[in-house]
Structures are given as C-alpha cells and as structure tokens.
Amino acid sequence: MSLLSYRALEDQDEPLKRPLSAPARSRTIGVLSFDPSPYGKATVLSGIHDATRENDYCVIIADMRVPGRRSWRDGVRWLRRLAVDGILVLAPPRDVIELLAETSLNVPVVVVGALPQDVLSAVTSDHYAGAAAATRHLLQLGHDSVFHIAGHFDTTERGSRLAGWRDTLLAAGAEVPAAIPGDGSSERGYELGRRLAARPDVTAIFAASDQMALGVLRALSEARRRVPEEVSVIGFGGIPEGEFFKPPLTTVRQNFAEMGRRGAELLRAEIEVSRVAGVHETIPADLILRSSTAAPV
C-alpha cells in the first residue's frame, strides 16, 4: 500500500462541484480521516490495506488535523487533484456528512464508521445492538437501572447508542435516567465519574467509549466505590488496553478491521461495477465480558 501524507492547501475558494479532469483509472483510493481514536483509525486502515493489497490498489491518506468543513473540503480537493478513483471517509462528523451528501465529487465515496444520509454508501458498527446488549447484560445481573455517559454530540453513532440503551431500559420497565453528555475522553469520564460516584443510587454505568470508562474507573476508585461489587462499568470500542484496566473492562468490541476491509471492498465495487450508491452495511459489535461487571451486592 502506497501512502502519501496530506499537506494543507493554500487559502482558495475553488468549488468542489467543478468537474476535475482525470486520466482513466489510477487504481488509487483516497482516505480522508479525522478519527481521534488511534486504535480505531489504525485498525480500520489495516483492514483497508488488506483489501486494497489483494486487489492491487494504492492508498493515499489525507489526515485531517483540524476538524471543520473547510479542512475536509481542502482534503477532498487535494485527493481529487491526485486523480483518485474513489474516496473512503473515516468517522466524519455530522457537518462533514452533510457536505459530502450535497456535493458532486465525480468519484464514488464510501463512509466508514458513521451513518450518513441515504445518498452515500457506508459501513458502520451496529451501535444500537451493541448498546442494547450492554444495557441488557447489566439489567440481567440485577441492576435496577443503568446510567449512560454518551459520546460526542457531533457523531452519528451517539444517537444509535442512546437509542439502544434507552429502548432496552424501557422494554424492561426500568427507570430511564437522563443521559450524561460526554466527549469520549478519559478526562471527561473521570469528571463525570466523580459525580456519579457520589450518588448511592448508581450501581451500573455504561460509558460510550472505553476511554471514558477508564476515567470512570479511576473516579470510582478514588471515591472508594468498589468495582464491580458496588458499581458495574461497561465501555464501548474494545481497545486492547481494556483487558489490563483494573479491573479488566467489560466492553462492546467494534470490529474496526472488518469495517475497513468492507469499506474498501464496497468502494471498489462502486468504482469497477458502477454500483448505485446508498448501500449501508452494518458490522456486528460483540459484548466482551470481563471483571468490571457483576450482580449488585
């Protein structure tokens, strides 16, 4: 897999809708990435690498260091000037999905790790089912309810995880506490974990990322709330380090490598077969049971 790095373009207002001349197929795929998770991004790229290598494609990566529509427009423009045959977009925020949906790029585009509008093809994890499985596990252990620290407000998967958590509580006739806004970071998890640790009615916490779950675990430890005897904790993502948290973290593991592989295969199909865009594929997310969850004492 050939890799090129993205260099910010000069300040220009060149419209993306302008047709760009390009030779016949270059057998090159562009990747636009602004995934803040090093593990998730690296594993998705590994899956893309496996799929493109099997089919003799090269990959050019534009790594967006600064979020925002302008940054993404520059990245797309740069890739189009390099005559890529198609573009994979990794974990774009909502405003970028809107930009991609409303723009004619003259090449196929597939979103990986987020759920866009119907006009764009996408591969994503089953966030709804994963959140539902995490919540159901805690209820089946005997917890009266589950408190949820949600992900970043600007991500599409946030709504799916919220819905999976809420619907499962409602179906069980359990109380539905207000979701707590998070941002995916350990720092935010620690801050919110300190608040939850002070509440004796909190016996189960489902965090929308493993990083936030790590912060929660530290906050509970400092407050002398034992995990899992007094409070059970579940994360989301499946980072390898979760196995070495104290205690080892129960989590919903996303198959990032499979998402990358399927995204690359879907893009190749749209390039070579001219398949109609708007195909959505969902990769199962697996509940991994470890020592951070147990029946309440």
Cα 251 from Cα 235, distance rounded (Å): 4
* Banded pLDDT at 114 (limits 50, 70, 90): confident
Q: Where in the chain is the domain with CATH 3.40.50.2300?
A: 28-124+255-283, 127-254
Residues 6+ apart with CB under 8 A from 80: 16, 20, 22, 105, 106, 107
Choice between 205 and 159, residue whose per-residue pLDDT is larger = 205
On the question of pLDDT at 59 being above 70, the answer is yes
Cα 264 from Cα 277, distance rounded (Å): 14
Name the superfamily (CATH) of residues 28-124+255-283. Answer: Response regulator (3.40.50.2300)
On the question of pLDDT at 23 being above 60, the answer is no
CATH number assigned to the domain covering 127-254: 3.40.50.2300
Question: Quick one: tokens of 241?
Answer: 């380090």
* Banded pLDDT at 66 (limits 50, 70, 90): low
Choice between 24 and 260, residue whose per-residue pLDDT is larger = 260
DSSP 136: H
On the question of pLDDT at 243 being above 50, the answer is yes
Rounded to an integer, the average pLDDT of 36-55 is: 87
State the pTM of this model: 0.87
**Residue 7 has what pLDDT?**
38
* Span 278-291, pLDDT tens digits: 889 999 999 999 99
Cα 32 from Cα 34, distance rounded (Å): 7
* Span 246-278, pLDDT tens digits: 999 999 999 999 999 999 999 999 998 876 678
Q: Specify the length of the chain in residues.
A: 297
Rounded to an integer, the average pLDDT of 168-197 is: 97
